[in-house]
């Protein structure tokens, strides 16, 4: 039962990640940035709640993983690879935003970063492509081996 719960949570996280990438591809910049501006206009509260819930879910994933037949090398390799991909993707957004793409200043650093990502998500195309490929592979493996295997 523990493994099934872990598989379902992993699938949900990966599907959510793929949906975010898909939205970047199909939702126009103007629409995306209006949504982000509205979210940040509400202050840090909603994002803080989202981050707290996701941190708790990450903790649940790790606990569930430890309760299964975890392979430590696979876990640690995935942890390091994921951290590196996210860190490098953030480093890709190292150029100033034009005034028409920047948030109203002063703005918290996370707001500026969000605007930079929305303005040119293609700057981190390699990292996003790798993450997407790993999500697709992960979904295929979880479905074929864990749900129907």
d(CA 68, CA 34): 43
- pLDDT at position 48, please? 92
Half-sphere exposure of 71 (CA within 13 A, CB side): 4
DSSP type of residue 44: S
- pLDDT at position 66, please? 93
How many Cβ atoms are within 10 Å of 11's Cβ, its own excluded? 17
From 22, 96, 12, select the one nearest 60 (Cα to Cα): 12
- pLDDT at position 84, please? 97
Residue 2 has pLDDT above 90, yes or no: yes
Q: Enumerate helices (H) and strands (E) in the chain, giving the number of each.
A: 6, 0
d(CA 149, CA 56): 29
Angle between helices 125-141 and 2-26 (to 10 degrees): 140
Residue 69 has pLDDT above 90, yes or no: no
From 81, 102, 106, select the one nearest 93 (Cα to Cα): 102
Domain containing 115 equals 2-147
DSSP type of residue 100: G
- pLDDT at position 149, please? 81
**pLDDT interval class at 24 (50, 70, 90):** confident
**53-63 average pLDDT score:** 96
pTM of the predicted protein model = 0.88
Backbone φ and ψ of 66, nearest 5°: -65, -25
**30-38 average pLDDT score:** 95
Number of domains in the chain: 1
């Amino acid at each position: 039962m523990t493994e099934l719960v872990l598989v379902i949570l992993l699938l949900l996280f990966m599907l959510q990640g793929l949906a975010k990438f898909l939205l970047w591809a199909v939702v126009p910049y103007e629409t995306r940035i209006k949504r982000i501006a509205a979210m940040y206009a509400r202050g840090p509260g909603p994002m803080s709640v989202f981050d707290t819930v996701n941190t708790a879910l990450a903790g649940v994933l790790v606990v569930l993983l430890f309760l299964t037949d975890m392979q430590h090398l696979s876990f640690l390799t995935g942890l390091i690879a994921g951290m590196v991909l996210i860190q490098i993707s953030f480093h890709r957004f190292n150029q100033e935003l034009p005034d028409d793409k920047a948030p109203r200043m002063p703005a918290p650093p996370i707001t500026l970063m969000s605007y930079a990502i929305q303005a040119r998500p293609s700057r981190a195309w390699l990292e996003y492509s790798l993450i997407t490929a790993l999500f697709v592979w992960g979904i295929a493996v979880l479905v074929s081996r864990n749900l129907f295997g």
